[in-house]
Amino acid sequence: MKQYLDFNATTPVNEETAKLMHNYLVNDFANAGSRSHESGALAKKTVLNARKQIAKICSIDTSEIIFTSGATESNNIALFGLLEHAKKIGKNHIISTSIEHKAILDPLKEIENRGFEVTLIDPDSSGHVDVQEIIKSITSNTFLISCMHANNETGSINNISLIGRLAKEIDSEIFIHSDCAQTFAKTDLDFNDPSIDMISFSGHKFFGPKGVGGLVMRKRDGMSLPLKPIMYGGGQERGLRPGTQPVHLIAGVGLAAELAYSERQNWTEKCLKIKDKALKTFNSKGTIIYGGVGSETLPNTLFISFGTHAESVIICLKNIAEIATGSACTSESYTPSHVLTAMGVDEDQAKKVVRLSWGPDTDPNVFQEIKEALEILR
């Protein structure tokens, strides 16, 4: 049976979450903003419950989370939302990395167009960002550092806690944001570290629904972060993300996060076993692994070259496994991955790299089938 090996692009919704969401679509469907009836009160309570489920993972208060349409929107609110504050305090410099998802890189381009200065730190050849490189780039003008937790292509995990702590030793006012789309709830890392001010997450990466995610905004000295909205409307989500709250999606993301977090150890162990099998199966001369394989890399990801053009690999495997070249959002155009380019991989090599990403229940025998099919292709 063909296996889906594109879990970093998106994951299936687990049955329990889907069932819960169905109820909020069909039965308890009221608007959480309706104050005049019990159904509205129930919807409001449901949203609060989901906020509690997320708050627990980050050891924060429910007032420190807003629900959004996903990590893209959360990133935009985190980045654009601070610009007015930066102007007020007379700072204009942001530090980020060249391996970020387009949902950070594109907003940063626009922010640069608006007159701000952006420094993008390149990764090392294993796809990791050197913490010291970030710290060295801090100037008296820096107001924000945004560094992704795990890269969606290579799976490389950055030490965002260390970045947060060291940056704040230099300037306690600097804001730290992290796009945690690939790690949130599934891993045990850093989400409750107080030095990280803002965390973006996305439901469909941890067996929850698409179209919902959130932004964690840790208070400072009891005060909300000075974020300004990027849209205006009915004032929902503390005015930062106005619009009728999609109660079914919010209930779904809350439950999916709770379930994923309680399963995180299991997810890691099972995915690591599958990775071991993949590494053993593909351990031959012609293969190159990008992004490293140790504990500083996601247990469910392999960014790998089989020495053959990625498009040929994808076509060859089409009845065996569904895989990706780089991130799904850019896979329509065959330009090499910006992450590989930043790692110093030349264009010819980069075109041969594919991404395999799996879930805890993936059958690892698929790797042997892949190996045999690619031997025939070669």
Q: How far is the CB of 167 from ligand PLP (least distance, A)?
A: 21
Residue closer to ligand PLP by CB (options 10, 126) is: 10
Q: How far is the CB of 255 from ligand PLP (least distance, A)?
A: 17
The two tokens of residue 227 are 């974020």
144 contacts 175 by C-beta, under 8 angstroms: yes
Return the ∠ at Cα 226 (arms to 71 and 170), rounded to 5°: 90
Q: How far is the CB of 329 from ligand PLP (least distance, A)?
A: 6
Residue closer to ligand PLP by CB (options 34, 331) is: 331
- Is 271 labeled as catalytic in the residue annotation? no
Stretch that binds ligand PLP, among 69-77, 109-117, 269-277, 295-303 (CB under 6 A): 69-77
The two tokens of residue 269 are 């162990």
Q: How far is the CB of 181 from ligand PLP (least distance, A)?
A: 3
Angle, to 10 degrees, between the axis of helix 264-281 and the axis of helix 366-377? 30
* Nearest residue to 7 via CA among 328, 335, 223, 246: 328
* Nearest residue to 273 via CA among 149, 187, 361, 369: 361
Residue of 46, 72, 159, 300 that binds ligand PLP (CB under 6 A) = 72
202 is a contact residue toward ligand PLP (CB under 6 A): yes
Residue of 44, 70, 340, 354 that binds ligand PLP (CB under 6 A) = 70
| CA–CA separation, 144 and 89 (whole Å) | 12
191 contacts 180 by C-beta, under 8 angstroms: yes
190 is a contact residue toward ligand PLP (CB under 6 A): no
Considering only residues 318-347, where is the footprint of ligand PLP by CB under 6 A?
327
Considering only residues 136-165, where is the footprint of ligand PLP by CB under 6 A?
148, 152
Residue 151, CA atoms < 13 Å, CB-side half-sphere: 30
Q: How far is the CB of 252 from ligand PLP (least distance, A)?
A: 13
| CA–CA separation, 294 and 94 (whole Å) | 30
Residue of 47, 71, 302, 354 that binds ligand PLP (CB under 6 A) = 71
Stretch that binds ligand PLP, among 178-186, 215-223, 269-277, 299-307 (CB under 6 A): 178-186
Residue of 46, 182, 268, 281 that binds ligand PLP (CB under 6 A) = 182
Stretch that binds ligand PLP, among 66-74, 162-170, 227-235, 333-341 (CB under 6 A): 66-74
| CA–CA separation, 172 and 57 (whole Å) | 24
In DSSP terms, which residues pair with 230 in a beta bridge?
none
99 is a contact residue toward ligand PLP (CB under 6 A): no
* Nearest residue to 74 via CA among 185, 262, 230: 230
* Nearest residue to 180 via CA among 112, 255, 104, 109: 104
The two tokens of residue 225 are 């972060």
322 contacts 6 by C-beta, under 8 angstroms: yes
Q: How far is the CB of 264 from ligand PLP (least distance, A)?
A: 18
225 is a contact residue toward ligand PLP (CB under 6 A): no
Residue closer to ligand PLP by CB (options 131, 180) is: 180
Residue closer to ligand PLP by CB (options 64, 179) is: 179
Stretch that binds ligand PLP, among 65-73, 105-113, 313-321, 361-369 (CB under 6 A): 65-73
| CA–CA separation, 223 and 337 (whole Å) | 40
101 is a contact residue toward ligand PLP (CB under 6 A): yes
Considering only residues 230-249, where is the footprint of ligand PLP by CB under 6 A?
none
Q: For 216, list phi and psi in degrees, rounded to 5.
A: -85, 130
Q: How far is the CB of 40 from ligand PLP (least distance, A)?
A: 28
Catalytic residue among 58, 271, 316, 329: 329
Residue found under tokens 């550092």:
145
Q: How far is the CB of 253 from ligand PLP (least distance, A)?
A: 10
Pairing of strands 175-179, 198-202: parallel
Query: Could you say which DSSP state residue 159 is in?
Result: -
213 is a contact residue toward ligand PLP (CB under 6 A): yes
Binding site for ligand PLP (CB under 6 A): 70-72, 101, 103, 148, 152, 179, 181-182, 202, 213, 327
Q: Annotated active-site positions, please? A: 329
